[in-house]
Amino acid sequence: MSDKPKSPVVGGGRTMEPVTGQKSKSRLAQLAPVENLKEKQQKLKEERESKRARLDERHYYILTTVADGLGLEVTEVEDAILEGVQMTRIKLHVTYQISNNINAHKFSYFTPKEIRPYLEQIRVGPPQPKFTRSTKPKVFVTNGRDTPLRGIALVFTKVEPGAQITEQNISKEINFTKLDTSSQGKNGSGLLHAVESLLSSIFIPALKSLDGGWGKLDSPSGIQIRTDFLNTLDSFVSVLVGAQESLEEKVTLKPCETYELSKINTPADYQAVANSSEALEGIEQCMGVWLKQLEQVLAESEQMRKEADDIGPRAELDHWKKRMSKFNYLLDQIKGSDVKAVLGVLHAAKSKLVARWQELDRRVTDLANEARDNVKFLYTLEKFCDPLYNSDPVGLLTLSQFDPTPTPMIHSISDTQQHP
């Protein structure tokens, strides 16, 4: 008889393998991530509490202002800024020794398109995507250069760049401004509206009400410089209003829903799609939608303008600037890859829609060039028109006479402005 130990037998003739140290190690390996997770969570908790302990009245002044401006609880804002290095950014603002070059900070409150998970490194389970999408607005500190503003911004700036911020003087040394880009406008015009509202409602009225504090410009010789500066600000506000209207009125060609245009890249692709009756039908439907859009824009552009009797020359410039913006935006789309792909297929198929498109393309190009020329030459007249808005009749007598030099240029180049 052999003394060799027999393997345990299980019903059916199968043998059961003895428990080895390797299996025990695998179980320990499975438990290790859980233990590491608990340790890291505890470490993060300790770090947050350590940061919380370093908060003083200066921080709470800022956090309370942010909470009031956003309609949140102070604890919500406090928890948000304890993440990552945001506390360090606030410290740079309120501490004199390391803040000589840090004169402003911005608290943003909106839903970022992509957020890097702060606890990504301690997840358990299968790998997760690098970026996750959040649906809840988030409070975070930013320098204003790295993250585009899509919601509300609360900006804190120092009155004196080199001033030391203390608990006693923070209310005097820190200015607070709120910009809400989400409440008005579309196509990205919300930011323009926020800046325009800030200037026209706060800064410009405040500057116009100042009797002093202009430094060297308080002298009689500086009065005209101050007046010109304020008039320039008013003009800039008008530009912002016009830019908002241009963004809101821009026409975007509808995406092609009847064929996947990304599949069309080469002349061979053009011919292959043209040879397929079903695919060609989808391309022609897409072109038909674009033709209707362009025809509508052109029809609207030919309508008679209705203007009040008391408008000035600035209204003419604003009209042509908006017109130039609209048609230049259309031209950019006409030169885009989607239109190029559709035209390539239609050319290969010898479609009759090509001739219609070329005619509309020519008209859009002519109108864009016309608007550009008129804007160019109306700008040459702008400096002579500004005194009409900014001076009284007596003041107009002291101004330099009108320079007729731009007139021949307008008559020789601009088709619209050469006739009264």
User: Residue 249's pLDDT is what?
Assistant: 84
Highest mean pLDDT among 91-100, 234-243, 269-278, 290-299: 290-299
Q: Is the pLDDT of residue 400 over 50?
A: yes
User: Residue 153's pLDDT is what?
Assistant: 84
For residue 96, give the amino acid letter: Y
Structure token pair of residue 80: 């948000």
User: Residue 340's pLDDT is what?
Assistant: 92
Measured distance CA(235)–CA(228) in Å, rounded: 10
Neighbours of 251 (CB within 10 A): 15
Considering the chain, what percentage of its residues have pLDDT values greater than 90? 19
Residue-wise pLDDT for 42-87, tens only, equals 887 888 888 888 888 888 888 898 888 888 888 888 888 887 777 7
Q: What is the mean pLDDT of residues 17-22?
A: 50
Nearest alpha-carbon partner for 346 in 357, 335, 330: 357
Q: Is the pLDDT of residue 291 over 90?
A: yes
User: Residue 294's pLDDT is what?
Assistant: 94
User: Residue 362's pLDDT is what?
Assistant: 95
Measured distance CA(346)–CA(352) in Å, rounded: 8
User: Residue 176's pLDDT is what?
Assistant: 85
Q: What is the mean pLDDT of residues 235-241?
A: 88
Residue-wise pLDDT for 299-330, tens only, equals 998 887 777 776 777 788 888 899 999 999 99
Q: Is the pLDDT of residue 11 over 80?
A: no
Nearest alpha-carbon partner for 199 in 152, 154, 236: 236
Measured distance CA(368)–CA(329) in Å, rounded: 9
- Helix, strand, or coil here: 309? coil
Q: Is the pLDDT of residue 134 over 60?
A: no
Q: Is the pLDDT of residue 233 over 70?
A: yes
Please enumerate in sequence order all residues whose Cβ is within 8 A of that of 280, keeping only pairs 6 or more positions apart, or say none: 273, 274, 345, 349, 351
Q: Is the pLDDT of residue 4 over 70?
A: no
Q: Is the pLDDT of residue 356 over 90?
A: yes
Measured distance CA(286)–CA(305) in Å, rounded: 32
Higher pLDDT, 390 or 16: 390
User: Residue 417's pLDDT is what?
Assistant: 54
User: Residue 102's pLDDT is what?
Assistant: 46
Q: Is the pLDDT of residue 12 over 80?
A: no
Among 55-69, 102-116, 147-161, 333-347, the minimum mean pLDDT is found in 102-116
With cut-offs at 50, 70 and 90, classify the pLDDT of residue 186: low
Q: For all residues of the chain together, what is the average pLDDT?
A: 76
Cα-atom radius of gyration of the chain, to the nearest Å?
33
What phi and psi, each to the nearest 5 degrees, are found at residue 153?
Answer: -125, 135
Structure token pair of residue 258: 């009847």
User: Residue 420's pLDDT is what?
Assistant: 47
Q: What is the mean pLDDT of residues 265-288?
A: 90
Q: Is the pLDDT of residue 295 over 90?
A: yes
Considering the entire predicted model, what is its pTM?
Answer: 0.65
Helices 223-249 + 313-334 axis angle, to 10 = 40
Please enumerate in sequence order all residues whose Cβ is within 8 A of that of 113, keeping only pairs 6 or more positions apart, or say none: 133
Q: Is the pLDDT of residue 32 over 60?
A: no
User: Residue 148's pLDDT is what?
Assistant: 75
Among 31-40, 193-202, 389-398, the minimum mean pLDDT is found in 389-398
- Whether the CA torsion 347, 353, 354, 357 is positive or negative: it is negative
Q: Is the pLDDT of residue 232 over 70?
A: yes
User: Residue 380's pLDDT is what?
Assistant: 79
Structure token pair of residue 52: 């919380």
Higher pLDDT, 307 or 235: 235
